[in-house]
Structure 1
Amino acid sequence: MALAKPQSLFRLYCVLCRAIPFPLHFSTKAFSLSSSSLAAYTIGITSSSPPFMVSFLVDIVGLPKESAIAASSKLLHLKTPEKLISVLDFLKANGFQETHIHNIIRKRPLILATDVDNTLKPKFKFFQDLGLSGSDLGGFLSKNPGILSYNTEKRAIPNIDFIKKYLHSNENILSVLKSNSAFGYDVDKRMLPNIKFMESQGVEGSNLTALLLSRPRLLDQNPSRLKQITEKVKELGIDPGSKMYRHVLGIMSSMSNGTWQRKIEFFKTFGWSEEDILTAFRKLPAVVALSVEKLQKAMAYLVKELKFDKNYLVLHPHLLAFSLEGRVIPRHNLLTVLRSRKLLKMDVRLSTVCLLSEKVFLERYVLRFGGESENLLKIYKESKENPRIIDEFMHLYQAS
């Protein structure tokens, strides 16, 4: 249902609500506000919501009834719809789409009780000054409606002014805001001490800016925790001036000491030494962030079925990270067929093939083989659905 409604209908709705002094609820089953008359409204007594609220949220705003009931429980103090209408008009006037408004109300119903002139307009001006407005602002706030609860003068402006010293541009600030609410930062107790500490570790200038852009939450945690993380990373021998450093910091910050030790022990069960683990980690830090379940499946296939040597996986840990069903197995199956048909002029390693994009892989190993390409494409696609189908295809090829 579209949000745009005749203003005369709004005013009539307000008059009806003010005229009813006790808690009543208009049944939404009896009529729709898109009809030409309000006469079909039926009235039922309820003590749990304002007399008009659920009907208003369903018929005017367009929310599903379940969402409207949930939202109305946060708006019990509103007795007439004037404020709700002023908020809706303001959002629409600022270019918010219907989906934006629905999402914001579902996640933060109290926005409908907000004073437009004294609260919403200053907040919106703040965002507009940063370069965020219209539908872009609607999309941003629909994902992060909690931002509207922060005091503009006391929290939003000081925090943005602080991080702008390090991010240097509104574009960078918006990048951080869209992925993480900088309004929630504790600047004095966390951000400032952490930034000073990182600078003392050699992470400064453009590297510090890059760290803030890629891992903003990393610098908004307890300073003692950040020091522990940097000590771990130092033990791994990662250079603070390298691009990998901030990536490793982010990974290590998401893992407890216990989780790290469990990953170490897992790799050791496959004969990896601590030096092997560190070598793989330096090549692909994300390998230790993979779930044990995913690692077990990858090891079972690569080590137990394909008989890959431990040293090969240490040097090519990305094979453990790729999707088995979506990439590794289908590409291995296709290479098996290409070798059996002697279509490869020179052999190629699975680790190399798995690094290729889907488009490039198909061009190099499927589509260029002319009359064979149709069957090769079929093998590749069906291998994604059934990894064991390679046995059937190999039997057919050998019989042909």
Structure 2
Amino acid sequence: MFHSKHHSLTRALLFFLGHTPPLPSPSTKSYLLLLRPQARRHSTTSTPDDHHSFTVSYLTTKCGFSHEDALRANKRVRFDTPVKPDSVISFFEAHGFSLSQITTIMCKIPVVLTRDPIKAILPKFQFLASKGASPSDIVLMTTRSPNFLLRSLNHIVSFYELVRRFSPSDLKAIAYLTGCPSSIADVRVAQNVKMLLDEGLTNANIHHLLRTRPSVLSSADLKKTVEEVKQLGFDPSQSYFSVVLLTKRAVTKSRWDAKVHVLKKWGWSEQDFSEAYRRHPQFMLRSEDKLNAVMSFWISNLGWDSSAFRIRPMLFGYSLEKRLIPRAKVVKYLLSNGLMKKNASIITPFSLTEELFLKRCITCFEEKDRSRLLTLYQGGC
């Protein structure tokens, strides 16, 4: 039976092998390929990518874009002739921009390649120059943040006038724009300035923000920080409010809480912290490790009261190795040998300049003590 089935299978295979259909002729094969879905897609006259391949080619060959950057830019800008982009590139070259700087600008705002540079860009450069911006200033601010080129001239003029209101001169206002050009196109700056004025900040406070950390005026949550600083007991109308505001912005909540925890570990109360912060808010810019190391040295090594740092929190900013430890050796010697006046503060020597410290704490004593003090101060035992 098995032999019979095997014989039948063999005959079936021979039948199919003997009746294999002929291969299609070349013309028939080509026709069949055209009927495939993939081939039909390519049979159309053009695609969006084909239509805008000129843009990609131009950006890679003329502007130095990578292929990936060119494809990304192609989603934001498209052109079919080189006339406008050529005129834009020539304009930037004529105004002192290098090819790499031009490429940087095009990567950030490729749409500028479709603008008329004489109408859309030149008046903005001329306005900035009229206020004292040098050619290098204009190149710098445009390369760093070219988005302002997409704003109207009226917007730029209004923004400049806002900055100038809080600056002592045109040159100072231009320095702000050069230092933070991204703010020119940012509508939040004007909104935040208005909010700060409404909160009671003085012109001097706002000038301080512009001069030291202008980017803070572009913050989306600046009002929240203002409220937090007010809750710490600071008056917005006081001259130091901007300093406090900047330190609060510079430290995240988690880092802030960690630093407060370190100070409380060494015996500080909330009131101690608030007093120190009002006296010198910058001390909260020190790391937790620095705060802990200074407190450990002062309390554990020297056995002194931590209230010194509540009164003079700027001591946290001094180097342990270069100032606090050497001067502590001198102060301890003076105390143990009765060389300090009865009511003299042990804090004062740490905040003196080098010249005054040597004069008041070392060289004013007799030779024997002077020699010993100098040895201690210079690292001896």
- Separation of aligned partners in 2, 1:377 and 1:73: 66
- Separation of aligned partners in 2, 1:123 and 1:217: 22
C-alpha deviation, 1:52, in angstroms: 11
Pair 253,362 (structure 1): closer, same or farther in 2 beyond 3 Å: same
8 Å contact from structure 1 (residues 71, 105) kept in 2:
no
Pair 319,117 (structure 1): closer, same or farther in 2 beyond 3 Å: same
C-alpha deviation, 1:370, in angstroms: 10
Report the secondary structure of 1:131's partner residue: coil
Q: Which stretch shows the higher mean deviation, 290-299 or 361-370?
A: 361-370
Match of 1:7 in 2: none
With structure 2 as the length reference, what TM-score do the two structures score?
0.61
| Counterpart selection for 1:272 from 268, 291, 300 | 268
Question: Which ranges of structure 1 fall in alignment gaps of 5 or more residues?
Answer: 1-48, 55-69, 93-100, 384-389, 395-400
Asked if 1:203 is matched to 2:198, the reply is no
> 1:35-69 CA deviation, whole Å, 9 max, x = no partner?
xxxxxxxxxxxxxx989999xxxxxxxxxxxxxxx
Amino acid of the structure 2 residue aligned with 1:295: L
- Separation of aligned partners in 1, 2:326 and 2:217: 41
- Separation of aligned partners in 2, 1:106 and 1:296: 49
8 Å contact from structure 1 (residues 71, 109) kept in 2:
no
| Counterpart selection for 1:91 from 89, 96, 121 | 96
Report the secondary structure of 2:126's partner residue: helix
- Separation of aligned partners in 1, 2:375 and 2:204: 48
State the superposition RMSD in angstroms.
Answer: 4.9
Report the secondary structure of 1:197's partner residue: helix
Q: How many residues align?
A: 306
Report matched runs for 1:275-354 at 5 Å. 275-335=271-331, 339=334, 346=341, 349=345, 351-354=347-350
Question: Which ranges of structure 2 fall in alignment gaps of 5 or more residues?
Answer: 1-58, 74-81
Pair 212,268 (structure 1): closer, same or farther in 2 beyond 3 Å: same
Asked if 1:255 is matched to 2:256, the reply is no
- Separation of aligned partners in 2, 1:352 and 1:235: 31
Report the secondary structure of 2:234's partner residue: coil
Amino acid of the structure 2 residue aligned with 1:130: K
> 1:256-280 CA deviation, whole Å, 9 max, x = no partner?
3333322222211112111111111
Amino acid of the structure 1 residue aligned with 2:161: D
Asked if 1:176 is matched to 2:176, the reply is yes
- Separation of aligned partners in 2, 1:72 and 1:331: 62
C-alpha deviation, 1:247, in angstroms: 0.8
> 1:360-394 CA deviation, whole Å, 9 max, x = no partner?
545655677898989977765xx5xxxxxx4xx23
> 1:173-218 CA deviation, whole Å, 9 max, x = no partner?
124224422544522xx23332232222222444444444444333
- Separation of aligned partners in 2, 1:174 and 1:255: 29
C-alpha deviation, 1:240, in angstroms: 1.4
- Separation of aligned partners in 2, 1:253 and 1:233: 10
C-alpha deviation, 1:281, in angstroms: 0.9
8 Å contact from structure 1 (residues 72, 109) kept in 2:
no
Amino acid of the structure 1 residue aligned with 2:129: Q
8 Å contact from structure 2 (residues 167, 173) kept in 1:
yes
Match of 2:126 in 1: 125
C-alpha deviation, 1:346, in angstroms: 4.7
Report matched runs for 1:1-400 at 5 Å. 90-91=95-96, 118=118, 124-133=125-134, 145-148=143-146, 150-151=148-149, 154=152, 156-167=156-167, 169-181=169-181, 183-187=183-187, 190-222=188-220, 225-335=221-331, 339=334, 346=341, 349=345, 351-361=347-357, 380=377, 390=379, 393-394=380-381
Q: Which stretch shows the higher mean deviation, 230-239 or 212-221?
A: 212-221
Identity %: 24
- Separation of aligned partners in 1, 2:286 and 2:241: 19
Amino acid of the structure 2 residue aligned with 1:127: L
Pair 182,84 (structure 1): closer, same or farther in 2 beyond 3 Å: closer
Pair 289,345 (structure 1): closer, same or farther in 2 beyond 3 Å: closer
- Separation of aligned partners in 2, 1:365 and 1:90: 60
Indicate the structure (1 or 2) with the bigger Cα radius of gyration. 2
Pair 288,157 (structure 1): closer, same or farther in 2 beyond 3 Å: same
8 Å contact from structure 2 (residues 244, 281) kept in 1:
yes
With structure 1 as the length reference, what TM-score do the two structures score?
0.58
Pair 328,152 (structure 1): closer, same or farther in 2 beyond 3 Å: farther
Amino acid of the structure 1 residue aligned with 2:163: I
- Separation of aligned partners in 2, 1:103 and 1:368: 62
